[in-house]
Amino acid sequence: MVTAATTSVTEQAVRFIETVRFEDLPAEAVRIGRRCVLDGFGLFVAGCAEESIRILVEDARDQGGRPDALLLGAGDVMVPAPIAARVLGTAGHAHDWDDTQVSRDPRHQYGLLTHPTIPALAAALVMSQRLREVSGRDLMLAFLVGFEVECKISEWMLPEHYKRGFHSSGTVGTFGACVAAAKLLGLRGDMLARALGIAASMAAGIRVNFGSMTKPLHVGRAAENGVTAALLAARGFTADRRALDGPWGFFPSTAPRPWRRSASGPA
């Protein structure tokens, strides 16, 4: 059995991401995944009515760039994948109605850990458009793998992360988006680990901005930065391969008292 004593959390994550296949997914996970996708589509549409999305769409039009993916709410206008993901992600969280990860662990006193669907789904959608020939199975696999890694990271950190002022849907969501994009790009080994390393340095969002347009932008930026991290890693951009739990990594830097499991159960 692989344990944290012999393999780092980052290494375990990489192994899971690169080896899991659609056939490995439980039927119940796929069923719930379909519901999450449908819910996400509805939230993207609903978010289009917000002034914040109008501003982001105008900004995206001004930036222009490679026509990778459709710009939400702009007809047939296409923009680079990271920018398309930014708008999608922000729209999906604009009303704060997106699904939530809830823990029954008493140490998670807030109960709610993160909003997992939107970052991973936005990334999977825009990367599928950029790559052009992606099957529905591959899209769903990428989304669910990103979703799973995002939720595991969120639960691992306990409430310390949130209590320190971080908005987990923005910070942890970056990893969900990165994993979804990386899975579609076929990243493996060191390249995949470095994508997580880039994402770790781009993960952001602080609770002081709750109640403003910037709160949903946290999720939009999570989707954008996750896609960017995967694309940069695919080009050979480097980062530390132990970015989750290595020295000065994401966990020790943003949640210094993580969840741990002993031989007899949760500590």
For 29-77, write each residue's pLDDT tens digit.
Answer: 999 999 999 999 999 999 999 999 999 999 999 999 999 999 999 999 9
**125-166 residue pLDDT tens:** 999 999 999 999 999 999 999 999 999 998 888 788 888 899
What pLDDT score was predicted for residue 156?
Answer: 84
Inter-helix orientation angle 136-156/27-47, to 10° = 90
Determine if residue 50 is left, alpha or beta; phi over 0 gives left, psi from -120 to 50 gives alpha, anything else beta: beta
With 0-12 / 13-18 / 19 or more C-beta atoms within 10 angstroms meaning exposed / middle / buried, residue 236 is: exposed
Band of residue 259 on the pLDDT scale cut at 50, 70, 90: low
Token code pair at residue 182:
């990386």
- Tally the C-alpha atoms within 13 A of residue 118's C-alpha that lie toward its C-beta: 36
Radius of gyration of the chain (CA): 17
Hey, where are the domains in the chain? 15-255
Of the listed ranges 84-88, 102-106, 185-189, 260-264, the one predicted with least confidence: 260-264
Determine if residue 116 is left, alpha or beta; phi over 0 gives left, psi from -120 to 50 gives alpha, anything else beta: alpha
Residue 175 has a CB neighbour count (10 Å cut-off) of 31
Q: Which residues contact 88 (CB under 8 A, 6 or more apart)?
A: 44, 72, 118, 121, 122, 125, 126, 220, 223
Choose which CATH entry (1.10.4100.10, 1.10.260.40, 3.50.50.60, 1.20.1740.10) describes domain 15-255.
Answer: 1.10.4100.10
Token code pair at residue 98:
């997106």
